[in-house]
Chains A and B, each alone.
Chain A
Amino acid sequence: MKENLAIEALKEGNLEGLETLAGLYYHRAVKAAFLIVQSKGEAEDIVQDSFLRAVEKIGQCKPGCFRPWFHRIVVNAAIKSVGKRNRLISFEQPGRDSQAPLEEILRDPQPGHQAVVESRELTGEIWKAMRRLPVRQRAAIVLKYYLDQSEAGISAMMNWPVSTVKWLLFSARKRLKVHLYAALADPQPATQNPVGRSETEIGES
């Protein structure tokens, strides 16, 4: 109800409606974007621009549809942002790794319980493995496991066929397993060739 009033306010040109929508969706959207682009600043920029875009196009939003509509804007913007960055890395700057290291994000000066340490290690490896997924697979994982969308929901939200969603999720999970197995079995990072992509990735492309 509050959300619908906010949307109506925006449709009338009253930016106060933004407060409700920001309260409801901002942080979750930044987190989702962060999981895709793996850069906090970039994620915040994406969400800020997505809100601007949402306000500009608010006329397209029907009551009750804001959440999937807005998440679609955010996820598409994140995919686009990574696509742009990947191109530059792939072709120009071999091996460059500009993403934030999770170790810094999760650093905790207090010694933890063994289980906590192991859990953190797994989380760290998932973070690294996520980084190595093609961006659409990464987005699919975020939509499914962070934004809690069903496959049909992802399909409707992103305008991807259900079969594509299934394929993306299947491929992503398979790759994650391969990377996690390799990482947990061998602490050394996978060898990078001079174009900045692991051989496994090239082989699977």
Chain B
Amino acid sequence: MNEHNLRKSLHSIADAAIDENKDPYPGLKKYVRQHLQTGEKKRPASHRRAWQWASGIALAVLLSITVFAFTPQGRVLAQRVLRFFTYSTGDQRPANSSQTAVKTASETSSQVAAISASDDSTPDPASILDSNLEIREVQLKAGYQIYVPSWIPENLQFSGASIEENTNIVRIFFLLSQRELNSNGLVFRQEPLPATDDCTLCDQVGADGAIQQVLIAGIYGEYVKGVWKYTDEDPVWESDPFLQKMRWQDKGMAFELLFMGPPDSMSLEDMVRIAESLKEASTQLPDEAIWNLTVQEAEKLAGFTVNVPASLPEGYSLDNVIYNPSSNDVIQMYKFHPYSAGEQFNIHQSRQPLVDEIGNSAGVELLTVDGKTVEYVHGSWFGLDGSPVETWQPNSIFHTFRWQDGDDYFALEVLFDETDTWSPAYWTRDGMTAMIELVMGARSDFPDQVNYNNITDISTAGQLAGFHVLQPQTLPEGLAFERAVYDPVRRSITLLYGAGTDSRTDGNAYLVIIEEPAQGAIDYDLAGYPQDAIEQVEVSGHKATLLRGVNVDGQYQDVPRWTMVWDREDLRVILWITPDDSQTSLSKNEFLLIAESLQ
């Protein structure tokens, strides 16, 4: 192998695996935009300080006097007494202002890493890996007192901890330091000694002949070098100096140390010293939020029952449960799948009022849901990293509802881009109200037909619109029906045909048919189209206007996109096809055939 072959092979592998025809920009832009907007809430609920509530109330009183008396918005709102939002003095504030928020899922891993280390002597894990649990997180989740070494060799660094799902064994990982350039290291496992024989770490440490007895602070343990090698027949013991294992029992626990790596990086004496250095991990609650909990774990920590919606909108599932000790706040985070553009909703629940500051120009709407007053705000603070100020954005992707129910205070944050009216993750106000009712326990099902942007069968679309929906009998190769969108204001149905799960953003060609009751003359905006791009044609005996190219913001582009609009009895039809990223599209006649085939 020479360097030329290596270079050529790498290019060949990469070229074969990655399709360059896909335009990454639409999806990337949406992803970045959504996360920048959610990034404004980078400080999670946990960062809200203890004084915030008290100061929030004080601020609310002061602001209610100031704002109501001296600002136009205040005078308008003077009759409303807000309980859960407080007005800022303006629409800008210092970037470090406190705010209740949840990070989006993509921020979760860094959040976990950012949780500061406990007072255990384990090194800071954040410098190595950023997506595992810390000692006190596993301590909180384990349900038993765990132990941590107070001494480890200098060439090892703590890299994270976790809990084995089926056995509840706690694992703490230490990797050989970066300079050694490999992923070898030490794992320390522990489990409580059970009353029965069901103890994984109580099994024999290795093959009889290889086991060596060791003394650990007066207690005998077993030590072995090697590993069982699995073969097609029975396992065969293989003496391997790169694998060292030690097991012992103490303090009502079974312990195991397993080291994988060069023998000169870990001696038996080192392993014994680690074992002898064990001390109880801190059980004190951290100041920061705890992520990746189950609802039951969060309830145990919060001390109250968490209201979980009995039903979810189509496409959403529970992504994370977070507990914020400083405000005793449990947050359920639900994400929309399969798209990952940031659509999600979060349910906060606390025994303390969830007060949030909003921009001075923000509008607060008071709703009554199941007899309870709910405050609603559309907007959020926005500030790029490093910016000294945050600005209130009234039309951001955040829709926040707050209310009290008995002893509990709730907030529902719905994150979606309402300008993307075709997004299948789109929410209507009815949908958001239904979700509040579900959290309140006032209903058990999320209404089926709320998501007008994700109608998956055409007969349902026709029922909603009240007319027979025309469908093409001829389609370009590779395109199939993806979904329909219903606009209750125009009573229009939009049919989307594509090649993938979201053809509008994945770079593939897509066909759109909009059908709505014909009212008045056709007023399709032809401004900007050159004369030779506009043609009058006949479709199934009806006069139609055929357009070539596209007019975007007044700029005509002669791209292979075809558009046609015509009235067919009482129905107005708009048909267009957008080419794929390689600008491959249909000929005019092929496009006309699709229009003729509508039935």
B372, CB-defined interface residue at 8 Å: no
Are A48's CB and B28's CB within 8 A? yes
Q: Contacts A35-B10, A51-B32 given: A100-B5 contact, CB under 8 Å?
A: no
> What residues of A have a CB within 8 angstroms of the CB of B31 in the complex?
48, 51-52
Q: Contacts A51-B32, A195-B243 given: A34-B17 contact, CB under 8 Å?
A: yes
> What residues of B have a CB within 8 angstroms of the CB of A7 in the complex?
none
Are A56's CB and B18's CB within 8 A? no
Are B1's CB and A123's CB within 8 A? no
B250, CB-defined interface residue at 8 Å: no
Q: Contacts A59-B386, A193-B227 given: A126-B29 contact, CB under 8 Å?
A: no
Are A194's CB and B25's CB within 8 A? no
What 0/1 pattern do residues 131 to 143 of A give for CB contact below 8 A with B?
0001111000110
Q: Tell me the A1-47 residues at the B interface (CB within 8 Å).
A: 13, 15, 18-19, 22-23, 26-27, 30-32, 34-35, 40, 43
Shortest C-beta distance, B90 to chain A (Å), equals 20
> What residues of A have a CB within 8 angstroms of the CB of B106 in the complex?
49, 52
What 0/1 pattern do residues 179 to 205 of A give for CB contact below 8 A with B?
010000000000001110100001101
Shortest C-beta distance, A11 to chain B (Å), equals 10
Query: What residue in chain A is nearest B27 (Cβ atoms)?
Result: A48
Selected interface stretch from B191-199, B256-264, B352-360, B442-450: B256-264
> What residues of B have a CB within 8 angstroms of the CB of A55 in the complex?
32, 36
Are A18's CB and B28's CB within 8 A? yes
Shortest C-beta distance, A69 to chain B (Å), equals 16
Are B24's CB and A26's CB within 8 A? yes
Give the size range of B's interface with the partner.
35 or more
Complex: A79 Cα to B27 Cα, angstroms: 24
Q: Contacts A22-B28, A193-B229 given: A126-B9 contact, CB under 8 Å?
A: yes
Shortest C-beta distance, A107 to chain B (Å), equals 9
Complex: A34 Cα to B10 Cα, angstroms: 10
A105, CB-defined interface residue at 8 Å: yes
> What residues of A have a CB within 8 angstroms of the CB of B24 in the complex?
22, 26-27
Complex: A102 Cα to B17 Cα, angstroms: 8
Q: A123 is contacted by which of B13, B39, B230 (Cβ under 8 Å)?
A: B13
Q: A84 is contacted by which of B9, B29, B129 (Cβ under 8 Å)?
A: B129
> What residues of A have a CB within 8 angstroms of the CB of B538 in the complex?
none
What 0/1 pattern do residues 113 to 135 of A give for CB contact below 8 A with B?
00000010011001100000011
Are A56's CB and B384's CB within 8 A? yes
Are A141's CB and B6's CB within 8 A? yes
Are B25's CB and A13's CB within 8 A? no
Complex: A194 Cα to B24 Cα, angstroms: 41
Selected interface stretch from B115-123, B179-187, B323-331, B405-413: B179-187
B49, CB-defined interface residue at 8 Å: no
Q: Contacts A83-B183, A90-B184, A180-B1 given: A205-B14 contact, CB under 8 Å?
A: no
Shortest C-beta distance, B245 to chain A (Å), equals 11
A96, CB-defined interface residue at 8 Å: no
Q: Contacts A35-B10, A105-B13, A145-B3 given: A52-B184 contact, CB under 8 Å?
A: no
Are B18's CB and A34's CB within 8 A? yes
Shortest C-beta distance, A89 to chain B (Å), equals 9
Are B15's CB and A31's CB within 8 A? yes
> What residues of A have a CB within 8 angstroms of the CB of B240 in the complex?
193, 202
Shortest C-beta distance, B18 to chain A (Å), equals 5
> What residues of B have a CB within 8 angstroms of the CB of A180 in the complex?
1
Complex: A98 Cα to B182 Cα, angstroms: 19
Q: Tell me the B1-46 residues at the A interface (CB within 8 Å).
A: 1, 3, 5-7, 9-18, 20, 24-25, 27-29, 31-33, 35-36, 39
Are A56's CB and B262's CB within 8 A? no
Shortest C-beta distance, A112 to chain B (Å), equals 13
Are A134's CB and B25's CB within 8 A? no
Are A194's CB and B230's CB within 8 A? yes
Shortest C-beta distance, B257 to chain A (Å), equals 12
> What residues of B have a CB within 8 angstroms of the CB of A155 in the complex?
none
Are A134's CB and B182's CB within 8 A? yes
Residue among B28, B29, B260 with the highest chain A CB neighbour number at 10 A: B28
> What residues of A have a CB within 8 angstroms of the CB of B6 in the complex?
126, 141, 145, 176
A149, CB-defined interface residue at 8 Å: no
Q: Contacts A13-B384, A122-B5 given: A205-B25 contact, CB under 8 Å?
A: no
Q: B25 is contacted by which of A18, A135, A142 (Cβ under 8 Å)?
A: A18
Are B13's CB and A127's CB within 8 A? yes
Are B1's CB and A126's CB within 8 A? yes
Q: Tell me the A69-105 residues at the B interface (CB within 8 Å).
A: 80, 83-84, 86-87, 90-91, 94, 100, 102, 105
Query: What residue in chain B is nearest A136 (Cβ atoms)?
Result: B181
A57, CB-defined interface residue at 8 Å: yes
> What residues of B have a CB within 8 angstroms of the CB of A80 in the complex?
129-130
Are A87's CB and B129's CB within 8 A? yes
Q: Tell me the B491-512 residues at the A interface (CB within 8 Å).
A: none
B102, CB-defined interface residue at 8 Å: no
B242, CB-defined interface residue at 8 Å: yes
Shortest C-beta distance, A205 to chain B (Å), equals 5
> What residues of A have a CB within 8 angstroms of the CB of B457 in the complex?
none
Complex: A136 Cα to B181 Cα, angstroms: 7
> What residues of A have a CB within 8 angstroms of the CB of B185 in the complex?
87
Are A19's CB and B29's CB within 8 A? yes
Complex: A136 Cα to B182 Cα, angstroms: 8
Are B18's CB and A30's CB within 8 A? yes
Are A105's CB and B17's CB within 8 A? yes
Query: What residue in chain A is nearest B187 (Cβ atoms)?
Result: A91
Complex: A86 Cα to B570 Cα, angstroms: 63
B430, CB-defined interface residue at 8 Å: no
A146, CB-defined interface residue at 8 Å: yes
Shortest C-beta distance, B341 to chain A (Å), equals 11
> What residues of B have a CB within 8 angstroms of the CB of A177 in the complex?
1
Are B18's CB and A31's CB within 8 A? yes
Query: What residue in chain A is nearest B262 (Cβ atoms)?
Result: A205
Are B10's CB and A145's CB within 8 A? yes
Complex: A84 Cα to B230 Cα, angstroms: 25
Are B20's CB and A126's CB within 8 A? no
Complex: A197 Cα to B260 Cα, angstroms: 10
Complex: A15 Cα to B32 Cα, angstroms: 8
- Given contacts A51-B31, A87-B175, A136-B181, list 20 more A-B pairs with CB under 8 A: A19-B25, A27-B18, A31-B14, A31-B17, A35-B13, A52-B31, A83-B129, A86-B183, A87-B173, A90-B184, A91-B260, A100-B17, A122-B9, A126-B5, A145-B10, A146-B11, A193-B227, A194-B228, A205-B242, A205-B261
Cβ-closest 4 pairs across A and B = A31-B14, A86-B183, A123-B9, A26-B24
Please name 12 pairs of A and B residues whose Cβ atoms are closer than 8 Å in the assembled complex, sorted by A: A15-B29, A18-B28, A32-B14, A43-B18, A48-B31, A51-B32, A84-B132, A134-B182, A193-B227, A202-B260, A203-B242, A205-B184
